[in-house]
Amino acid sequence: MTIRVLLADDQALLRAALRVVLDSCDDMELVAEATCGGEAVALARVHRPDVVLLDIRVPGTDSLTATTAICADPGLSDTRVLILTTHEIDASVAGALRAGASGFLGKDATADVLLDGIRTVVAGDALLSPLATRALITRFPGAPAADAPPGASERLAALTGRDREIATRVAQGRSNAEIAARLGVSPLTVRTRVRRIMTELGARDRAQLVVLAHRSGALLARPSTER
């Protein structure tokens, strides 16, 4: 499978560097380049890429608006947005994640980290470091947010006790391996259950599961031990 990438950044030098990295990779193809947020949205609708690499500070239509437009477009349901940023803890980054972005990478990331990040979000996983998850928890406290999706709390509450525990630990920034060790199961079992939870809750990926859990206010203070 060839991963189709759209790059959106107003810095020509950075685009050139990223182009070289992507062109050197056999399983990726750069399908288009945009210099502003509005152009990124328009080109995404034309090319329907697997991933949009979007600079957090694009001119014109801002990154939050562009992310919202891409993630809300039914025709782009398989497109993932990966934010490029110079600051890991940033209100704009949190806003982009809330709007549907699948994660973010620092602009100082190595080529291997960038390529692995693209593959990660295409696979449906989130690109969120523990530090970023803690920032999300700070920005989305336990009380339900006014703009939480209708029925989000009810859907989370309807999960089995074990699935609520797994969802809670995901939202706390725990990896599949950490959750598996805590529950005494295999990482593959956790991965399978996380994917099932995302399907039941209508979350596009792991990042959206984290955001949904915090926005709904339905996290358990003490995860259940029910199996």
Q: Which pLDDT score, from 0 to 100, does residue 89 have?
A: 58
Query: So what's the pLDDT on residue 105?
Result: 84
pLDDT score, position 218: 55
pLDDT of residue 201: 83
Tokens of 122: 């295409």
Parts of the chain with a pLDDT under 50:
142-147, 220-227
- Predicted confidence at residue 100, as pLDDT, reads 85
The whole-number pLDDT of residue 121 equals 86
202 in the Ramachandran plot: left (φ > 0), alpha (ψ -120 to 50) or beta?
left
Per-residue pLDDT at 70: 96
Q: Find the helix or strand (DSSP H, E) in which 182 lies.
A: helix 176-183
Q: Tokens standing for 27?
A: 């399983």
Q: Which domains does the chain have, with CATH numbers?
A: 3-127 (3.40.50.2300), 141-216 (1.10.10.10)
CB count in 10 Å sphere of residue 5: 24
- Phi then psi for residue 213, to 5 deg, are -60, -45
* pLDDT at res. 200: 85
The pLDDT of residue 222: 44
CB distance 8 to 34 below 8 Å: yes
Burial 19-42 (b: 16+ CB within 10 A, else e): eebbeebeebebbbbbbbbbbbbb
